[in-house]
Structure 1
Amino acid sequence: MDMIRESTLLACHQAARAVTAAPTGGEYLTFRIGAEEYGIDILKVQEIRSYEAPTRIANAAAYIKGVVNLRGVIVPIVDLRLNLGCETVTYDDLTVVIILNVCDRVVGAVVDSVSDVLELTGDVIRPAPEMSSAVATRFITGIASVQQRMLVLLNIEALMSSPAMGLIGNRAAH
């Protein structure tokens, strides 16, 4: 049974890396973290919920806010603002949780606000530049320029399943 879980986890990591390699068009949910605007593949989004304080888990990383019960499923809640190095984190009426389905696991991501859903064509998406930054470029599928907006397109599956996040690997170990 553990071999099956490990091979599933490995396949998930490989698929996440493959997506990062080639920016393509599609529909993206856009959201704000601080002054920056990000986009993720809409197909990874299950729902959007208002923020409610999760049940804290002892000794969890600061960006893992805890867990919530979502219709019988215990969902870990990650504050992307803390994970991506946002300087100021406040919880207000605009703060939302994006419920994601990544690597057959349901995970919540806290963001400042959700903007909209955009259809992006491949010609507006540019590869992420090589640089040393708070967000490792391996989690960025590209940069899109739409009207006056610059969107950082994230490979949310690669980010959430990364060993540093510790969410998907922990599940495979059980």
Structure 2
Amino acid sequence: MRRIITTIMAMLICLCAITACGSSNEAPEDSAVNVSLDDVVNKIKSVNPVADERVIDDFAVENEMGLDPAIIDQYKGVVTNSQSDCSLIFVAKAKDGKTRELKQQLTDYLTGLAANDLYVEFADKIEKTKQARVLVYGDYVVLAIAGLNVDNDVVVKAISEAFGE
């Protein structure tokens, strides 16, 4: 039942907040990675501005994104609150041994968002989100959806740079 509710919430987010997702790529893992979540989010925002941003809070993490808070050590994120864009930035540090599980939950969230293609007026946003990435750097998992006027490769490069690559 929770899975169904999570899926429905994900679709509602797509329609209301116009955020969505897509494919997942895994960056090289390095368990010694240690970064500031604020620095990573700010680096991504420097190339992928988030219009009318809304902070991703505890409620959103659990009820909108369907993530298990028990596997997350810390997180920071923002999502657009504008129907004219689809930007989303989410960076989380998984608890020890939970990185793979967190990556899977974020991938499931993205898959649910990208699956809703019922409304043609959102086609450009859905297409952008299909290019999105879930990247792993040690215990950190990053989800970034590029805005409509942003090249996804630029976002991926900024994420890599934020993690010192």
Normalised by the length of structure 1, the TM-score is: 0.28
Higher Cα Rg, which structure? 1
Structure with a larger share of its residues in strand: 1
Structure with a larger share of its residues in helix: 2
Higher relative contact order (CA 8 A, sep 6+): 2
